[in-house]
Structure 1
Amino acid sequence: MFRKLPGDEARNLVTTTPDTAVVFRPAVVTTPAIITVIILVSRLIAGLVRTLWRHPIAVTVLAVPSTLCWLYGWRVALLLSAPAPTGIVAWALIDRASFARLIGWRLLAWWRLIWIYRRHWQPVMIVSGLGKHLRGRDYLPRLGKVTCTAWADRVTVRMLDGQAVKDWADRIEALAHGFGAPSCRVSVVKAGRLVLTFPRRDPLAVPLPAIPIPDVPTVGPVEIGIQEDGSPWLLNVHGTHKLVAGATGAGKGSIIWSTIRGLLPAVRAGLVELWALDPKLMELSFGRTLFGPRYAATPEECAELLEQAVKVMQERAARFGGHQRSHTPTVEDPFVLVIVDEVAFLTAYQADRDLKRRVSAALATLTTQGRAVGVGVMAALQDPRKEVMTIRNLFPDKIALRLDESEQVDMVLGDGARDRGALADHISPVPELGAGVGYVRLETSPDPIRVRAAYVSDADIRAMVTEFTPAGGEAR
C-alpha cells in the first residue's frame, strides 16, 4: 500500500508489487545563513537608496534635526532648526502664490503619493482588474510621479505589458471611487505611459459673470469662459466651425452670446459680420438689432440667408483662387460668422422637404468650403443623433454641454471621448451648478477639456444692444 505522499505525487508512482512500501522524500536544499543575511541587507540598502532618491527633501527635513540633536543636544538642534520652518511659514503668509508654486504643491504631491495613491494602489488595481494576481504574486502597473495643481492630482502610470488605453478608460469610475476623487480622466503621454487626472475640487462650480467686452477689435480667439485649470477658455471662431450640443437649459445661449459679445468691437470696426438664424424666435431675437438685415426667423428666411452666405463664399473663392489660400479679415472681406440656433428644427423637424433640402445643402457647402475664405458656422442643437444632424462630422470643433444619455457624448465628441473622462451626462441639471459647463474636443487633440462659459444676462444683452447698435437701428 502507498503511504500518504505530498501533493499529487502518489498517482505518478507505479509499482508491480502491491505490498511494497513506497516512500517519497522531496529534495531539500538548505540555504546558508550568510546568503540569507546578504539578501536581506541588500534589500534594506536598496530600499534606503530608493527612499533617498524619491524623497530627498523629506529625508533631509527629518535627518538634519535628528543629527543635530544627536551631536549637540536638543537645545542646539531646536535653536538651529527653528529659523527654517519660521521663515517658511512667513513666506507662505506673505506670498502664498510663489510658496505654493515652489514648495506647497510639491509637499502636497508627496503627501498624497504616500497617503492616498501608494497606500491604496494594490487593492484598487486588483479589484478593478488592472492588476493581476498569479501564482501568489501581484503584477501591478507601476505608480510613477504625482503632480498637484490648484484643483487636481496628475498621476503618471506605467501600464503592464499587454495592456491597452481602453482597459483604463473602461474603469475610470472604479479608479475615481477607489482614490476618493469625484472623477478620473485618462490621457496618453507616450507608449506604455498614462496620466490619470483626479480632481480634488470643482473650480467650475460657481457661475461665471459675463466676460468684459474687449477694448481692441479681435476676430479671435475670443474669450468666452474659463477652463478647469483656471486658464481662459478661448474659442477660435475664425479658424474652424463649431457645433454646440446640449439638453434644454444646458447653457447653449451662454456660448453663443459670449461669442457675440467678444466679437462686437470687431463688428463695429467692420472686420466681422454676424448672420443670425433664430427659428425658435427666443434666443437671438433678444438682440436682433445687433444683426440688422442679416437676421432670419422663419424657415423660408433661414434658407434664403444661408444661400446668401453660400453666394458670398463662392464669390470670394472665385476671387481668392490662385492668389491666397487663407483668409485675413478686412473691411472689404470681413469674417462672416453664421450663427444657427436649434439647427435641428431646420434640418430634421422641418415639414417642408424642399426647405429642409435647401438648408441641409447650404450648411454642408458652408462647412466644407467656407473655412478658407472666411465664412464660419456656429450651430447649436439639443439632439445630436445622426438622423437629426447628418453633417455633424463636418464641424471640426465640438462642444458637449449637459446631455441626457451617455451614448450621446461619443455622438458629439467622437468615439472614446466619454471613456477619456468627458462625462457630459453627469453634469448637474441645476442651473447654478451646471449651466454652461461642458467638454470641448478640438481637432488638434483627442483629449476632452472641461470648460464653463460665462453667463450673459438679459441686462448684459440690453447694454450690448444699446452700445453697439448704430443710429438707424441696424448694426454694420
Structure 2
Amino acid sequence: MFKKLPGDEAQRLVSTTPDTAVVFRPAVVRTPALLTLLVFIWRTVAGLGRLLWRHPIASAVVAVPGVIWTLYGWPYGLGVVALLVAVPAVWGLVDRGSFRRLVGWRLLAFWRLVWVYRRHWQPVMVVSGLARHLDGRDCLPRLVKVTCTSWADLVEVRMLTGQAVTDWADRTEHLAHGFGAASCRVTVTRAGRLLLTFPRSDPLAVPMSAVPISAAASVGPVEIGRCEDGTPWRLRVHGTHVLVAGATGSGKGSIIWSTVRGLLPAVQAGLVEVWALDPKLMELSFGRDLFGDRYAAEPAACAELLEAAVKVMQERAGRFAGVRRNHIPTADDPFVLVVVDEVAFLTAYQPDKGLRLRISAALATLTTQGRAVGVGVLAALQDPRKDVLSIRNLFPDKIALRLDESEQVDMVLGDGARDRGALADLISPRPEQGAGVAYVRLETSPDPIRVRAAYVSDDDIRDMVAVFGADTLPLPEVA
C-alpha cells in the first residue's frame, strides 16, 4: 500500500508497517507562458551581448559578410568572404610570427575554449570532486578565460568560495586526463583565481646543443638551456646557492658544465673563480685544466679546498663589515663559485669521520654566510634524503632532475612541489628524451619551472680547455 503525503508531513510520519513506501510528491508551481518567453528572450539578448563584448573581432568577421550579402547581393558578400580568407593567408605566409601572436593563438584559444574546456567543464568538475551540490543544483568553478601559447593552454579559473589551492593541486591528474593533456600545473594568480597550464606539446623533447660562449664577461644569470615556454633558461649563481639532485644519467653534468661554460669569459676577465671538487674523478676531471690549482679529488684535498673557501669568505666578511652589504665582483674580490660533484660522497658516504665532519662544517658555513660576500656553492647529488645531506634547506635555489621516487620530489623542491606540477619522477629515463630535463624551484617563487639544460659534449669541453685553459686564466694561489 502506498501513502501520498505532503513533504512537511513526511517528517512527522510514524509508521508501524515496515513495507510501507512513502512517496514524496513536491509541489508544482505553474509559470505563465509570457514570463517564460520573457526570460528566454532576456537570456538570448544577454548571451549575444556577452558574445559581442568578449569576441568583437570574431563577431564582426561573421556579421559583416552577412550584412553586405543582404544589402548589396551575393557577389559582394562572396567577395568580402574571399578577402577575409586571402588577407590572413598572405599575412601568415609573409610574417608567421606576428600572425600567430595577434590572430592564430587567439583563434586557437577560442576553439579550445568552446570544443575542449567549456564542453567538458561540468563532467570533469563533478567527477574530480571540484564541484559541489548545494540546494539541489551543481555549483561549478567558473571558467574565466583560455589563452594559448606555442606549447600550452593557459586556463584561468575562479574557485568556488571556500575552496583552497590544495583542492586543485591534489587533482592535477584528474584535470589533465579529463581535458586530454599530458599534465596539469596549478598556479595562484590572485585571491580566488588560479591558472591551470595544460601542455599541448613538449618543446623540451629534443636535446639542445651547448650554448655558445658569450663574448661579454658576466657573473650571471648564466644561460644554460631552455625553459618550457621557449625562453632561455638563465641560472643565477651569484648571490645564491644551487642544489642539483638527480638519478644516475639524469643530466647533472649538463647543468654543471653549462654553468662553467657560461662563466668562462668572466673567469678570463678575473671576475670569477671556479673551485671544483670532484670526488668521483669522472665528471670535472675531464676539464680540470680549466680550474688550475682550484681542483680537488681526494677527500682530504676536498676538505682543504673547502676550508680555504671559508677563509676567503671570512676575510671578506671582516673587510665588508660596516662598509657594504652586497658583493660586487671585481678583480680584487672576484665571485667564487664552489662546484661540488656528488656531494653525498663527502658528507654521508665518506668513511673517515674526521674528514666528513670537516667537510660538512665547511659546507654549512659557506651556505649560511657565503652569498653576501660573493662565495656561492653549486652542489650535485643523487640521493636527496635528509640523512645524506642535512644542509639541503640551506640552498635557496633547487633543481630536480629525474628522480626515482615521487617522495623525493618534495625532498628536493620542498613540500607541495609535486602537487604543483613538478613531476620529476616521471621524466623519461631515455637519454635522448629526459637527460637534462628538470624542474627548478627558485627562492623567489614556490611554483616549479620545467627546463632542459644544454648538453656539453666532450669535444665542447676540449675546446673550452684549449681556449680558456689554466695557462690563460688569472688564478691566484689558494690562501
1:141 aligns with 2:132: no
Q: Which stretch has the larger CA shift, 153-162 or 46-55? A: 46-55
Q: Tell whether the 8 Å contact from 1:292 to 1:474 is kept in structure 2 after alignment.
A: no
- Segment of structure 1 superposing worse, 436-445 or 3-12: 3-12
| Contact 1:221 1:237 (8 Å CA) reproduced | yes
Whether 2:358 is the aligned partner of 1:352: answer: no
Corresponding residue number in structure 2 for 1:398 = 398
Q: 2:115, 2:49 → 1: CA distance? A: 21
CA distance in 1, matches of 2:106, 2:99: 10
- 1:170 is matched with which residue? 170
- Deviation, 1:471, is 3.6
Shift of 1:39: 1.8
Amino acid corresponding to residue 120 of structure 2 in structure 1:
H
On the 8 A contact 1:225/1:453 being kept in 2, the answer is: yes
Q: For residues 412 and 372 of structure 1, what CA distance do their matches in structure 2 show?
A: 23
Give SS of 2:224's match. Answer: strand
Deviations 1:173-230 (A, max 9, x none): 1101111111100000111000000011000000000001111111111110011111
Aligned length: 467
In 2: Cα distance, 1:207 partner to 1:193 partner? 35
Distance 2:269 2:2 in 1: 102
Partner deviation per Cα, 1:66-101 (whole Å, 9 max, x = no partner): 222222222121123322321111001110001011
The alignment status of 1:80 with 2:76, answered yes or no, reads no
Distance 1:13 1:200, change over 3 A: closer
Q: Does 1:434 align with 2:431?
A: no
Distance 2:13 2:169 in 1: 51
- Equivalent in the alignment of 2:48: 48
Query: Is the 1:290–1:475 contact (alpha carbons within 8 Å) kept by the matching residues of 2?
Result: no
Any idea what the Cα deviations from partners look like across 1:298-338, whole Å, max 9, x if unmatched? Answer: 11110011001101111111111111111111111111110
Q: Report the equivalent of 1:211.
A: 211
Alpha-carbon distance in structure 1 between the residues aligned to 2:26 and 2:230: 67
The within-5 A match list for 1:180-195 is 180-195=180-195
CA distance in 2 between counterparts of 1:151 and 1:102 reads 16
**Which whole-Å CA distance do the structure 2 matches of 1:433 and 1:31 have between them?**
63
What are the within-5 Å matches in structure 2 for residues 376-455 of structure 1?
376-455=376-455
Of residues 388-397 and 43-52 in structure 1, the stretch that sits farther from structure 2 once superposed is: 43-52
| Structure 2 runs not aligned, ≥5 long | 15-23
The residue that corresponds to 2:371 in the other structure is 371
SS for the counterpart of 1:82 is helix
Q: TM-score, normalised by structure 1?
A: 0.94
Q: Distance in 2 between matches of 1:80 and 1:244?
A: 58
Cα distance in 1 between the residues matched to 2:270 and 2:184: 45
Matched residue of 2:261: which SS?
A: helix
Q: Which amino acid aligns with 1:256?
A: I
User: In the TM superposition, what whole-angstrom CA distance separates every residue of 1:5-29 from its partner, at most 9, and x where no partner exists?
Assistant: 4668467479xxxxxxxxx998765
Instruction: Provide the identity percentage.
Output: 73
In the superposition, relative to structure 1, how do residues 464 and 72 fare at CA in structure 2: closer, same or farther (>3 Å)? same
AA at the equivalent of 1:452: R
Equivalent pair of 1:289/1:473 in contact (CA under 8 Å): no
Partner of 2:91: 91
Q: Is the 8 A contact 1:250 1:429 kept in 2?
A: yes
1:293–1:474: 8 Å Cα contact kept in structure 2?
no
Q: How far 1:163 sits from its partner (Å)?
A: 0.5
Which residue pairs with 2:17 in the alignment? Answer: none
Match of 2:253 in 1: 253
Please tell me whether residue 236 in structure 1 is matched to residue 232 in structure 2.
no
Structure 1 range deviating more: 317-326 or 66-75: 66-75
Equivalence for 2:20: none
**What's the TM-score, normalizing by structure 2?**
0.94
**What corresponds to 2:458 in structure 1?**
458
**Conserved in 2, the CA contact under 8 Å of 1:204 and 1:451?**
yes
Instruction: Report the CA distance shift for 1:67/1:328 in structure 2 as closer, same or farther (over 3 A).
Output: same
**Structure 2 Cα separation of the partners of residues 26 and 235 of structure 1:** 66
- Residue pair 2:209, 2:454 contacting (<8 A) in 1 also: yes
The match for 1:317 is: 317
CA contact (8 A) 2:291 2:470 kept: no
Higher deviation after alignment, 282-291 or 81-90: 81-90
Distance 1:104 1:283, change over 3 A: same
Aligned to 2:21: none
Corresponding letter in the other structure for 1:454? A
Q: Is the 8 A contact 1:289 1:474 kept in 2?
A: no
Worse-superposed segment, 74-83 or 193-202: 74-83
Distance 1:301 1:291 in 2: 14
| Counterpart-to-counterpart distance in 2, 1:93 and 1:28 | 62
Asked if 2 retains the 8 angstrom alpha-carbon contact of 1:335 and 1:375, the reply is yes
Please tell me whether the aligned partners of residues 141 and 160 of structure 2 are also in contact (alpha carbons under 8 angstroms): yes
Aligned 8 A contact 2:268 2:472 in 1: no
Cα RMSD (Å) of the superposition? 2.0
Cα pair distance change 1:300/1:145, threshold 3 Å = same
Contact 1:145 1:155 in 2 (8 A): yes
